[in-house]
Structure 1
């Protein structure tokens, strides 16, 4: 090795050894922006979860599907962090002759929270509200807001009956 290569190797070694500090890596398990958790219930027995057949969820105006035709009683979906509303289309019996779509708008106040230099920010959502757009055949019958703040994903924030 010539002298230049030795100095380049030494400089690279020093940079790699001392260039990154321990706090430059966001630890696994650090809170991040939480998803909105929605549970679906039976209107005749509001204490009983009721699965939605072949549910598909996608953001209004987008082609990307967030929940792909599955039978579930709970969904977790993201809210837009740069706006104060997010609109989704919930489709039941997706892909069948009985397909039915409802448009739902979630409004909220985004509240960025600084975590640290490595992790940056997470966004909490306060003053959560929901509106189901009326059409001639809504399959979502009602909504109940359980938690007006979305700060974690451990419990449901909204209940829908269908």
Structure 2
């Protein structure tokens, strides 16, 4: 009986020791804190071509990445969008469709080129990608609805302000 009691105590101590070791092995920084900046999206605002100071909503906007079946955005009516850029390439191509699904539907292909810059955050969060040297090309066709593009910020490090404006 004495042996059985010692064996039970030893098992309880061993079990408690294993649990304590597991709890001490976890560190507070193993979880990425909410609110940590991640790879930013490209923010685009749409302006009136007649009054460059006035935001103008795009009717029936659909934004679709080249080679993808599904639309990333839309159809919706909006004057500002945020879209991701590829992190494994130095360019991303999208098709911007105006008045999607109507008789006046109009597609413009747009290529964004940039230099992806890897930034180490910490062990828990890993890396994020910032983008520098942003450039944009609206491919010309017989009927572009995007009339002009202005690069507001060449470097994309956050999503708090617009990076590009399109006039239409």
> Per the shorter chain, which TM-score range?
over 0.9
Whole-angstrom CA distance in 1 between matches of 2:13 and 2:162: 58
Q: Does 1:37 align with 2:65?
A: no
How many Å apart are 1:14 and its aligned residue? 3.2
Whole-angstrom CA distance in 2 between matches of 1:34 and 1:85: 15
Q: Does 1:84 align with 2:84?
A: no
Q: Does 1:52 align with 2:31?
A: no
Whole-angstrom CA distance in 1 between matches of 2:157 and 2:85: 12
TM-score normalised by L of structure 2:
0.89
Question: Which residue of structure 2 lines up, in the alignment, with residue 113 of structure 1?
Answer: 119
Whole-angstrom CA distance in 2 between matches of 1:60 and 1:52: 20
State which of 152, 157, 160 in structure 1 corresponds to 2:163.
157
Counterparts in 2 of 1:11 and 1:77: CA distance versus 1, 3 Å: farther
Whole-angstrom CA distance in 2 between matches of 1:19 and 1:65: 44
Alignment gaps of 5+ in structure 1: none
State which of 58, 64, 71 in structure 1 corresponds to 2:70.
64
Q: CA RMSD in A?
A: 1.9
TM-score normalised by L of structure 1:
0.92
How many Å apart are 1:13 and its aligned residue? 2.3
Alignment gaps of 5+ in structure 2: 1-6
State which of 70, 77, 80 in structure 2 corresponds to 1:74.
80
Q: For the pair shown, which has the larger CA radius of gyration, 1 or 2?
A: 2
Mean CA deviation greater in 8-17 or 55-64: 8-17
State which of 104, 115, 130 in structure 2 corresponds to 1:98.
104
Whole-angstrom CA distance in 2 between matches of 1:99 and 1:43: 19
Question: Which residue of structure 1 lines up, in the alignment, with residue 4 of structure 2?
Answer: none
Question: Which residue of structure 2 lines up, in the alignment, with residue 146 of structure 1?
Answer: 152
